[in-house]
Amino acid sequence: MINKSIIKTGIVISLLLSGFIAKAQTEVQDILQAGLSDAKTYLGKYIKPATSTLGYLVNTGWYYRGNAKDAGRFELSLITNAAFLPEEKQKFLFRESDYEHLSLPSGQKQDHVPTLLGSKESVNVLVRFEDENGDTQSFSLMLPGGLLDEKLNTVPSAFLQGSVGLGWGLELKARVIPKINYDDVETGLYGAGLQYEISRLFSKKDDANIAVSLLAGYTKLEASYALESAQVSSAKANLESNVSAWQFALVGSTNFKTLNFYGGLNYNLQNRETGLMGRYTISEGELAGQTITNPFTIVQDNAVVSGTLGLNLRLGFFDLNAAYNFQEINTLNVGLNFGI
């Protein structure tokens, strides 16, 4: 059964990150007690599969046919997506050598621990540090487990997209989710794209059974989450996440009256920034008694090539389409499109 966090994520596109906040309100800032370097290293590995998945989810659904709309023709689409999480994205390898102060209580030098998209089981670690007298001290720290149930390996999202034909084989696209405030989470999404039908250069549109286009699309997701005080007391604490994603695609499709097939070769760029903002007063560890403002921002980038295969069913004034995207984290998108 899908848990409460997953239901939240279905309400807003960043459900998976709002689920993170449900856990973060009591746990995420506590890792500051291990020191800034260790906190940034651990959280970077912990959130990377989730922010990467979010990047793939918002960077899909740009097209479902190779031909551009005629001048003045408009279409509104509801696009839903699901990302399928491979097992290796649900955990990461904790190596003691990656940290200055963190170790496993079992004495093991390395072990697999949950990512944000992993199991719910929390992780107990040992924090060792030297006090002002040079003596070694230690204490136990409970780090957050994952967000998802073991049998639930998909993450959903949805957004609205509009497109209009400009003429000359050009089609302008825009996607948006207005800024939403929900349960201390503020999130919004916007994006724009341009498709150019190059096959018009070689044949008349009405005579061609194949259409080919070039497409460029940009999507930006902005989110902010209020954090409550936990073991580490805080003021104006929040977690800010920004995901920017570009897609450049070569798109091809059949051009028949009712049922068509389409595909694309895509080059995807992602930039993801997650910042722990606010003021935090540390109660234990080498930073005990210190107040830290805006501790750090985690920046993650990647560039991948992906492939898309799909089909489109035309039913009068609306279309149905479905496509599977082959990439590091595979996604399925389904669109309902109303044309004018």
Q: Helices (DSSP H) in 110-223: which residue ranges?
A: none
Torsion of CA 32, 35, 41, 42, to 10 degrees: -50
Q: Are 268 and 306 in contact (CB under 8 A)?
A: yes
Structure tokens at 302: 């990647």
- Taking 50 as the pLDDT cut, the residues of the chain under it are 1-26
| pTM for the model | 0.86
Among 304, 313, 338, smallest CA distance to 59 is for 304
According to DSSP, the β-strands at 170-182 and 74-84 are unpaired
pLDDT at res. 188: 85
Residue 58 burial (CB < 10 Å; 0-12/13-18/19+)?
A: buried
pLDDT at res. 340: 79
pLDDT at res. 21: 43
Cα separation, 340 vs 337, in Å, equals 10
Cα separation, 325 vs 336, in Å, equals 18
pLDDT at res. 10: 39
Cα separation, 238 vs 170, in Å, equals 42
What digits encode the pLDDT tens for the residues 255-306? 998 999 999 999 999 999 999 899 998 888 888 888 999 999 999 999 999 9
Cα separation, 162 vs 175, in Å, equals 6
What digits encode the pLDDT tens for the residues 15-58? 444 444 444 444 677 888 899 999 999 999 998 988 898 899 99
Looking at residue 117, the DSSP 8-state letter turns out to be: T
pLDDT at res. 163: 96
pLDDT at res. 230: 63
Torsion of CA 115, 119, 121, 124, to 10 degrees: -20
**Number of residues that this document lists for the chain:** 340
Residue 50 burial (CB < 10 Å; 0-12/13-18/19+)?
A: buried
**Strand partners of residue 320:** 313, 336
